[in-house]
Amino acid sequence: MGPIQQFTPKQLRERYETVLEENTYQGILFPRIHEEYKRSCAAEYTPAGLEAFRRARLEEALRHAGEHVPHYRALIARNRVADPLGTLRALPLLDKETVRKDPDGLLSGTLQPDRCRVASTSGTSGIPLRFVVDEDHLVHTYAARVRMAVRFTDRLHYKLLMPYQGWLQGGWFEYVAPGFGLARMAEFGTTAPPGPEDGDLAVRASAYAPDIVFGHPSSCLRLATALAATGRSITPRAVMTFGERLLPGARETLAQAYGAPVTDSYGMREFGTIAAQCAQDAYHIEAERLWVEVVDAEGVPRPLGERGELVVSNLVNRAMPLLRYRTGDVGALDPEPCGCGSPFPVLRLIEGRETSGVTLPSGRTVSGGEFSRVVRTRPVARFQLALYGDELLELRVLPAGYAELDTERLAEELTLLVAGELPVRVREVRAGEFAGSGERKHVDIVRLPADEA
């Protein structure tokens, strides 16, 4: 394995310890995860039955928020009507900026700190955001994930491989994850560009023989390439992707390379998986625990089938309820029931952060997520990519200030990512210098005329 370039061995050891502690905690939750998994598998909803179930959950979520969450107290008292969906739709949209500025206002007065977890996300826009989830939220999100995996493995015991994990800068790490059923997990990462180190990792992945490969499409592709280059293969039962748009070409390549079905999911750190593909490749919303709306710029719901911004409400998490939370992604609710027979509503992802990528002169597209993964491990408070015509790619960064930002090194790595097809410049800017956009709240990539460079 290559050297760890940004963490000291001690820091990496501490991160391992954190993951192991988290998995011990998942072990404590496992009886509840298993119970929820069994319940959700056994629930045979009619469309009307599912609707009644989630409306009851929505009503309870709104009642709790109105009574115990400062941010919502007056809002819900003012807007409450008999139909919980009417009450929800009268609430203003919640954006990341509000969560960032007033996180305490969104915390429940009933919150039990020892039964919650604090998570944070850099978001694709690079602005750090912290949020709190409770055990019910964790139990439900883990149970949903177990259901997704067991569809392919038929049992709770299986081996899962997460390739090219950004946090794991170098090396290979294995443990047992009760939050994935009772899966044996292996994760690996590297800070090296594609090269000899990938060969070592491919040999190890092949020996590990995972039942499921679980990762970003670009990471699963990189592993497939490395396996082919070393003449090794693995035969998983499924490749499960998330985090980036899965383009049709990538899906086909993955299916061929691994000889296994490829299934994708759409989610956010704030909510976990929001929608996951069925056997017919439709994205079914996890509607028992999330309410997804498609809205216009004023927050008014769009008719079924019409596009708009996706906003999500968590029906389960009481610690820090996010209601009508803006995703910045664009999609539509499918008016037709899915051919697979599931009553869970289908989301059509029309475009969003995953389609915002940079198409290089060669025709290859580098996704916003791939850029984000290079940038977000740096001391950067916020960033944005500006593409000047087809001539220059500029990374605008707001340094976080807690450590020196090596802009030259950053520019080198970005140049590597675009394989030198475009010149890259890294420019430090102030908060006000980020360009805004119309439809999406947080833009990652702005396109500007070449002569403005």
**Biggest alpha carbon distance in the chain?**
65
Q: What's the CA gap between 441 and 128, in Å, rounded?
A: 15
Instruction: Look up residue 170 and give its two tokens.
Output: 């170098």
Q: Give SS3 for 377.
A: coil
Identify the residue among 161, 183, 202, 282 touching Zn ion (CB under 5 A). 282
Identify the residue among 176, 340, 429, 453 touching Zn ion (CB under 5 A). 340
Q: What's the CA gap between 189 and 163, in Å, rounded?
A: 7
Nearer to Zn ion, 72 or 266 (CB): 266
Strands annotated E in 315-351: 325-333, 346-351
Q: What is the smallest separation between the CB atom of 335 and Zn ion, expressed in angstroms? A: 14
Nearer to Zn ion, 110 or 280 (CB): 280
- Choose the stretch contacting Zn ion; rule: CB under 5 A; options: 282-290, 311-319, 384-392, 428-436: 282-290
Q: What is the smallest separation between the CB atom of 270 and Zn ion, expressed in angstroms? A: 25
Question: 405 and 428 in contact (C-beta within 8 Å)?
Answer: yes
Instruction: Look up residue 213 and give its two tokens.
Output: 């490969």
Q: What is the smallest separation between the CB atom of 50 and Zn ion, expressed in angstroms? A: 14
Does residue 278 bind Zn ion (CB under 5 A)? Answer: yes
- Choose the stretch contacting Zn ion; rule: CB under 5 A; options: 7-15, 141-149, 190-198, 270-278: 270-278
Nearer to Zn ion, 50 or 338 (CB): 338
Q: What is the smallest separation between the CB atom of 241 and Zn ion, expressed in angstroms? A: 17
Q: Which of residues 139-178 bind Zn ion (CB under 5 A)?
A: none
Q: What's the CA gap between 151 and 149, in Å, rounded?
A: 5
Q: Which of residues 32-71 bind Zn ion (CB under 5 A)?
A: none
Q: What is the smallest separation between the CB atom of 240 and Zn ion, expressed in angstroms? A: 16
DSSP state of 157: -
For residue 371, what are the CA distances in angstroms to 42, 222, 358, 374, 445?
41, 15, 9, 5, 10
- Choose the stretch contacting Zn ion; rule: CB under 5 A; options: 4-12, 308-316, 318-326, 332-340: 332-340
Q: What's the CA gap between 59 and 283, in Å, rounded?
A: 25
- Choose the stretch contacting Zn ion; rule: CB under 5 A; options: 79-87, 233-241, 277-285, 367-375: 277-285
Q: What is the smallest separation between the CB atom of 264 and Zn ion, expressed in angstroms? A: 13
Which distant-in-sequence residues (6+ apart) come within 8 Å of 356 by Cβ? 367, 368, 443, 444, 445
Nearer to Zn ion, 235 or 280 (CB): 280
Q: Which of residues 196-215 bind Zn ion (CB under 5 A)?
A: none
Nearer to Zn ion, 215 or 261 (CB): 261
Which distant-in-sequence residues (6+ apart) come within 8 Å of 101 by Cβ? none
Q: What is the smallest separation between the CB atom of 170 and Zn ion, expressed in angstroms? A: 40
Nearer to Zn ion, 24 or 280 (CB): 280
Identify the residue whose tokens are 């079905």.
261
Q: Tell me how far the alpha carbon of residue 207 is from its chain's centroid.
A: 29
Here's the x/- map for Zn ion, 405-444, by CB under 5 A: it reads as: ----------------------------------------
Which distant-in-sequence residues (6+ apart) come within 8 Å of 86 by Cβ? none
Interface with Zn ion (CB under 5 A), residue total 6
Q: What is the smallest separation between the CB atom of 337 and Zn ion, expressed in angstroms? A: 9
- SS3 assignment for 181-231: CCEEEEEEECCCCCCHHHHHHHHHHHHHCCCEEEECHHHHHHHHHHHHHHC
Q: Give SS3 for 4.
A: coil
Q: What is the smallest separation between the CB atom of 4 and Zn ion, expressed in angstroms? A: 43
- Choose the stretch contacting Zn ion; rule: CB under 5 A; options: 17-25, 268-276, 281-289, 442-450: 281-289
Count of all residues that appear for the chain in the document: 453
Q: What's the CA gap between 357 and 378, in Å, rounded?
A: 20
Here's the x/- map for Zn ion, 360-399, by CB under 5 A: it reads as: ----------------------------------------
Q: What is the smallest separation between the CB atom of 277 and Zn ion, expressed in angstroms? A: 8
Q: Which residues are near Zn ion by CB under 5 A?
A: 278, 280, 282, 338, 340, 342
